[in-house]
Chain A
Amino acid sequence: MKKNLKYNAIWLAIAVLGWVLINVFEGVGIIDQFAENTLVLIGINIILATGLNLIIGFSGQFSLGHAGFMALGAYAAALVTQAIPTEGGFVLGTVIGMLLAGVVALIIGIPTLRLKGDYLAIATMGAAEIIRIILVNLKITNGPAGLYGLPQLANWSLVYILVVVTTIFTVNFIHSRNGRAILSVREDEIAAESMGINTTKFKVAAFVFGGMTAAIGGALHANYIQTIAPNDFGIMESINILIIVVMGGIGSMTGTFAAAALLGILDMVLQGFGALRMVLYSLALILIMIFRPKGLLGTWEFSVKRLFNRTKKKAKEGA
């Protein structure tokens, strides 16, 4: 218990240090407005990919409907902050978005998570498309034109905190009793079932958790970009998030961070390449997958505990 406390304190210190460092860099002008913009978009992608990694990497369910849950979070936050353009409005909108995404994920999850592989992917993709079409046809969402002129209530500090919070929650969830049950479902569903694990329940739990995480990303997206439209949440958005998960390594949280950062920076660098932009981006993805077929980090995770043990071991050997 004491050890866990120590490691948690170290993680918290790392998070605070990271936040302070970025603040200092911003203060002295190393990080300008454009770099901050890139950091925010990377942060939002980390939140989105973390949730999807839980669904794909840890529960082993192939979902292609993540953009649908992102849309629910985005629209909930946008509608609430249009009416209440304050920090409180943003928090309320995000919570409503999370609850809405959770309920919808539950409704979608119960029937579809009995499916496997490609069938599940098609079902979740269809569900996300249904969400998008509903948004196109609703009056409250301003139909295909979407919502614009939203207050910019999200900034990099808020994104940073929510990245830290969602990561802590997700990692703790994975390492909890329920998390281990989810991992067992991924490894061998039949064996897990024979051990008395309700596989459907745990698959749905991961799906709901992932959907709620996507809603947070959507809320931040809406109140940072300040404009949203149903077309922002099409199949390509789901695939973009999937690329981050696969690129980082399915089942690696550290990999998700690395891939989101790498692809975010790559995207920024390629802006000036004109029509070649997407060709070079695709080429980079292909090359990474050729040389790192299991993703940038495979299933490897950065661990403070492991780092400490290694340092202790070296110290002992030195003595």
Chain B
Amino acid sequence: MGENMKKMKIATLAATAMMLAAVFTGCANKAGTSGNSASGDTITIGGNFELSGAAAAYGSAMQRGVKLAVTKINKDGGVKVGDKKMKLKLVTKDNKSDNASAASIATNLTTQTKASAVIGPITSGAGLAALPNMTKAKVPLITPGGTQDSLTLQKNGKVQPYMFRSCFEDSFQGKALAKYVYNTMKLKNVAILGDKSTDYAQGLIKAFKGEYKGKIVTTEYYQAGDKDFNTLLTKLKSKNYDAIFVPGYYSEAGLIIRQAREMGIDKPIVGADGFADPKLVSIAGKSNASNIYYTTHFDAKAPANNKVADYLKLYKDTYGDDAGTFDALSYDAVYMIKQAIETEKSTNSVKIAEGLAKLKNFQGVTGTITMDKYHNPQKPVIVTKLMDGSEAEATAVK
């Protein structure tokens, strides 16, 4: 009986040891990759989109922009690779606004679909989750909306070789807004009412505070999902400020604008690209959405070049609607890939990444883009002003 027990224990230990021996070698045994290349006359582009879940509004805009660009490029003859023209093929997957799903889709698009480049996810968190699998496969990822500063950086401060963006980063727009408020609007005292629960808002606050030359009167915080801001606004009312800076998304910002105006606060309310959604006005109410300023990547009222008019017409004809910020950023992302392929005369994903890193004076609908050494596009920031719920003016800020 005891002998049997002993044998069983030895067998258990042996089996466990055998399995454990391979545990930490599983990843090391993977063969190295030289990236993906086009097969036949078609270049495959992957779409890792948030088509359902919390970020579905942004993901759907991204899909519209990408589809429009792919259709237009193919209609115009395709992508010139050396001496021949090749068509683009778009394969889209829905990551349901979930980080684990975004990582899984990154593997799918790089190993099964064999995409030469991938556009999306649009959020920084999902982008960070997808990045390790993209890097492993040596396939570039362009995010049209991942604005977190550290997204394109490794822990040691070096650049992530396969992560790019068509949008600018949080610190860039935070600094631009601070300069605009102080230099252009000539406002010397600002109160901050920021979202404590998102990295997006925290990044903006940090950048704004670092650049603003005036006085930060007070900094108050709310949580994403909050509905009643009267207590915070009452606190602000007694303070001496010239404007309120609200770093956050339109869902809460719209309510803050409504409640501030109903309380009699008529000072300018400034924000970042989280305001850049038509729902901001519908939540705030048209009459309340006055004296509102926000930074954005794209505005039809401040066209970056003569391509914008054609793009707006094409978008309207295709979707029967006006183009939004994220549609335009996604549209540019496809053309950035096209430019990289044509510059490098190759459909190999490693070469495309090299081409994207070298991107210089690229004429996009969101501006003239030059990629910096950290894979962030250098282009002007647009500051949009709302009056009575409509865009009154838009200014490009260098």
Which chain A positions have C-beta within 8 A of B155? 149
Residues facing B in A7-36 (CB within 8 A) are: 8-9, 12, 15-16, 19, 23, 32-34
Given the interface pairs A34-B112, A41-B104, A271-B93, the reply to whether A158 lies near B99 with Cβ below 8 Å is: no
The residue from B1, B24, B111, B199 contacting A144, defined by CB atoms under 8 A apart: B199
Complex interface: chain B residues within 8 A of A228 (CB): 99
One of B48-56, B274-282, B307-315, B355-363 at the interface: B48-56
B104 and A37: CB pair below 8 A? yes
Q: Which of B4-60 contact A (CB under 8 A)?
A: 4-5, 8, 11-12, 15-16, 18-20, 22-24, 26-27, 30, 49, 51-53, 56, 60
| Alpha-carbon gap, A38 to B133, bound state (A) | 13
Report yes or no: B19 in contact with A19, Cβ–Cβ below 8 A. yes
Contact call A271/B15, Cβ cutoff below 8 A: no
Whether the Cβ atoms of A161 and B23 lie closer than 8 Å is yes
Closest to A159 in B: B23
Asked if A221 is an interface residue, CB under 8 A from chain B, the answer is yes
| 8 A Cβ contacts from A261-284 to B | 267-268, 270-275, 277-278
B234 nearest CB across to chain A (Å): 23
| Distance of B95 from chain A, by nearest CB (Å) | 8
CB of B197 within 8 A of chain A?
A: yes
Does B209 touch A at the CB level, under 8 Å? Answer: no
Mostly helix, strand, loop or mixed at chain B's interface? helix
Q: Please, which residues of chain B bring their CB within 8 A of the CB of A272?
A: 91-94
Q: Is B346 positioned at the interface, with any CB of A under 8 Å from its CB? A: no
Q: Is the CB of A9 within 8 A of B125?
A: no
Partner of B202 from the list A143, A157, A158, A225 (CB cut-off 8 Å) is A143
CB contact under 8 A between A275 and B51, given known A144-B199, A152-B132, A225-B129: yes
Least distance between B162 CB and chain A CB atoms (Å) = 14
Query: Cβ of B94: which chain A residues have Cβ within 8 Å of it?
Result: 270-275, 277-278
Interface residue tally on B, bucketed by range: 35 or more
Are B24 and A136 neighbours in the complex by a CB distance under 8 Å?
A: no
Q: Is B261 an interface residue (CB 8 A)?
A: no
One of A41, A157, A226, A275 near B56 (C-beta < 8 A): A275
Q: Which of B110-126 contact A (CB under 8 A)?
A: 111-112, 124-125
* Number of cross-chain contacts by CB at 8 Å: 139
Size class of the contact patch on chain A: 35 or more
Q: How far is the CA of A129 from the CA of B15 in the complex (A)?
A: 40
Q: Which B residues lie within 8 Å of A152 (CB)?
A: 27, 132
Quick check: A221 and B100 within 8 Å, CB to CB? Answer: yes
Do the beta carbons of A8 and B8 come within 8 Å of each other? Answer: yes
Q: How far is the CA of A175 from the CA of B49 in the complex (A)?
A: 46
Contact A226-B132, Cβ < 8 Å, known A19-B19, A144-B199, A271-B108: yes
Is the Cβ of B60 less than 8 Å from the Cβ of A137? Answer: no
Would you call A5 and B8 a contact (CB within 8 A)? Answer: yes
B143 touches A (CB below 8 Å): no
* B197 contacts across to A, CB distance below 8 A: 133, 136, 144, 230
A148 CB-CB contact with B under 8 Å: yes
Q: How far is the CB of B96 from chain A (nearest CB, A)?
A: 6
In this assembly, does B196 line the interface, its C-beta being within 8 Å of a C-beta of chain A?
Answer: yes
The yes or no answer to A156 lying at the interface (CB within 8 A) is yes
A82, closest chain B residue (CB): B155
Is B337 among interface residues, defined by CB-CB distance under 8 A?
no
A-side contacts of B91, CB under 8 Å: 272
Complex Cα distance, B99 from A23, in Å, reads 27
Q: Are A15 and B15 in contact (CB under 8 A)?
A: yes
Shortest A161–chain B CB gap in Å is 5
How distant is the Cα of A145 from the Cα of B148 in the complex, in angstroms? 9
A148 to B132, CA, bound (A): 10
A12 contact from B12, B20, B104, Cβ within 8 A = B12
Q: How far is the CA of A270 from the CA of B105 in the complex (A)?
A: 11
Chain A binding surface, main DSSP class: helix
> Quick one: closest A residue to B49, CB to CB?
A274
Question: From residue 115 to 174 of chain A, which have CB atoms closer than 8 A to chain B?
Answer: 133, 136-137, 143-146, 148-149, 152-153, 155-158, 160-161
Contact of B125 (CB < 8 Å), options: A136, A229, A278 = A229
As a 0/1 sequence over residues 198 to 213 of chain B, the CB contacts with chain A under 8 angstroms (1 = contact) are 1100110000000000
- Within 8 Å of chain B (Cβ to Cβ): is A1? yes
Known A15-B15, A227-B128: A274·B51 in contact at CB below 8 Å: yes
Instruction: Tell me the bound Cα distance from A155 to B56 in angstroms.
Output: 30
Cβ–Cβ contact A32 & B52, under 8 A: no
Query: Which residue of the partner chain, among B8, B23, B111, contacts A33 with CB atoms under 8 Å?
Result: B111
B107 at the interface (CB under 8 A from A): yes
Residues of A within 8 A of B96 (CB): 277-278
Q: B103 in the interface, Cβ–Cβ < 8 Å?
A: yes
Q: Mark B349-376, 1 if CB is under 8 A from A, else 0.
A: 0000000000000000000000000000
CA gap between A8 and B15 in the complex, in Å: 13
C-alpha spacing A33/B114, complex, angstroms: 12
Contact with B along A90-109 (1 / 0, CB 8 A): 00000000000000000000
- Please give the distance in Å from B91's CB to the nearest CB on chain A: 8
A193 neighbours in B (Cβ, 8 Å): none
The answer, yes or no, to whether A299 is at the interface (CB within 8 Å) is: no
A214-228: contact bitstring with B at CB < 8 Å (1 yes, 0 no)?
000000010001111
Partner of A155, one of B23, B101, B104, B129: B23
Residue contact A1 to B125, C-beta cutoff 8 Å: no
Chain B residue numbers with a CB within 8 Å of A187 are none
B107 touches A37 (CB 8 A): yes
Asked if A161 and B20 make an inter-chain contact with CB atoms under 8 angstroms apart, the answer reads yes
Contact residues of B with A, CB < 8 Å? 1, 4-5, 8, 11-12, 15-16, 18-20, 22-24, 26-27, 30, 49, 51-53, 56, 60, 63, 91-96, 99-101, 103-105, 107-108, 111-112, 124-125, 128-129, 131-133, 148, 150, 154-155, 196-199, 202-203, 223
Q: Which 10 pairs from chain A and chain B are nearest by CB?
A: A145-B199, A155-B26, A278-B52, A157-B23, A277-B94, A227-B128, A271-B93, A275-B51, A148-B128, A33-B111
Contacts beyond the supplied A145-B150, A161-B19: 16 A-B pairs with Cβ under 8 Å: A12-B15, A15-B15, A16-B18, A19-B19, A37-B103, A38-B104, A136-B196, A145-B199, A146-B199, A157-B23, A229-B199, A232-B100, A271-B95, A275-B60, A277-B51, A277-B52
A-B contact pairs, 22 of them (CB 8 A): A2-B1, A5-B4, A9-B11, A12-B11, A15-B15, A16-B18, A16-B19, A19-B19, A32-B111, A34-B104, A34-B111, A144-B199, A145-B148, A145-B203, A148-B150, A155-B24, A229-B125, A231-B125, A271-B108, A274-B63, A275-B52, A277-B96
